[in-house]
């Protein structure tokens, strides 16, 4: 593998309602940085992904698999040392948070990353309703973002189109769920793939 490929960014695809997406979001930047890499964050909408791929949410809370996954969310968080509280409303629509992220990213990548972390923690630690535009605006305002400007951006055709385009790109790249990481064309699905991701970055592939 040549030097250019080794230093290419990782692509991190996720939905803000994804518990495993939250867990990986708390770790992925640090893991990448240890190996001289950056991460491109791509919030997407799982509803669109599932509709296009014929999939359905696995954690329905009723089936044996759903019950297992609800248990595993909390267990995985404990294993990874990450604060976690199962939201009282789950899952939630996340288009407002995703649109806000892309608008912020167009101005300040670091601020957009702070916002993404704040949204995830608001949902999976504080149990806030991140589907609400008011909640999204409040989270952003607490980071110093102009609330009025962001409120207008959430309804702008350009930002709506950007999110739609990201979902289209995700499908074209082979993304089928959250979290989904692509490193130099290699796909890793799920927060439990973090050790493999680190090994891949260390070794240049295996």
Per-residue model confidence as pLDDT tens digits over 126-158: 999 999 999 999 999 999 999 999 999 999 999
Residue 5: per-residue pLDDT: 47
3-state secondary structure of 105: helix
Q: How far apart are CA 98 and CA 59, in angstroms?
A: 22
Contact 143, 118 (CB under 8 A): yes
Percent of the chain with pLDDT over 70: 95
Q: What pLDDT sits at residue 60?
A: 64
pLDDT score for 169: 98
The model's pLDDT over 3-42, given as tens digits with 9 standing for 90+, comes to 444 579 999 999 999 999 999 999 999 999 999 999 999 9
pLDDT (0 to 100) of residue 150: 98
pLDDT value for 63: 82
The position carrying tokens 């409040």 is 138
pLDDT of residue 66: 86
Phi, psi of 127 (to 5 degrees): 65, 45
Q: In whole angstroms, give the CA distance from residue 178 to residue 20.
A: 7
The model's pTM is 0.93
Residues 77-93 have a mean pLDDT of: 96
Q: How far is CA 194 from CA 6, 38, 153, 176, in A?
A: 18, 15, 34, 18
Dihedrals phi, psi of 14, to nearest 5 degrees: -160, 160
Q: Which CATH number fits domain 3-203: 3.30.160.270, 3.40.30.10, 3.90.870.20, 3.10.20.30?
A: 3.40.30.10
Say what the pLDDT of residue 48 is.
Answer: 96
**Section 64-89 average pLDDT:** 95
Burial of 192 (0-12, 13-18, 19+ CB in 10 A): middle
For range 186-198, the mean pLDDT:
98
Helices 95-105 and 133-141 sit at what angle, rounded to 10 degrees? 30
Across all residues in the chain, what is the average pLDDT? 94
Tens of pLDDT, residue by residue over 38-75, are 999 999 999 999 999 988 776 666 688 889 999 999 99
Mean pLDDT of 72-93: 96
């Amino acid at each position: 593998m040549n030097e250019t490929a080794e230093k290419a960014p990782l692509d991190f695809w996720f939905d803000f309602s994804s518990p495993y997406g939250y867990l990986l979001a708390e770790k992925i930047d640090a893991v990448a940085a240890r190996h001289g890499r950056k991460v491109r964050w791509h919030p997407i909408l799982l509803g669109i992904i599932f509709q296009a791929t014929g999939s359905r949410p696995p954690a329905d809370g009723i089936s044996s698999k759903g019950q297992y996954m609800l248990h595993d969310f909390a267990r995985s968080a404990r294993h990874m040392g990450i604060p976690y509280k199962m939201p009282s409303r789950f899952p939630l629509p996340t288009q407002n948070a995703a649109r806000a992220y892309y608008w912020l990213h167009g101005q300040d990548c670091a601020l957009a990353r702070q916002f993404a972390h704040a949204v995830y923690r608001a949902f999976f630690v504080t149990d806030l309703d991140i589907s609400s535009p008011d909640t999204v605006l409040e989270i952003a305002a607490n980071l110093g973002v102009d609330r009025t400007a962001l409120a207008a951006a959430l309804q702008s055709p350009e930002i709506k189109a950007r999110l739609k385009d990201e979902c289209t790109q995700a499908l074209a790249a082979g993304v089928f769920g959250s979290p989904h990481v692509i490193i130099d064309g290699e796909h890793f699905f799920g927060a439990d793939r973090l050790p493999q991701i680190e090994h891949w970055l260390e070794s240049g592939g295996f």
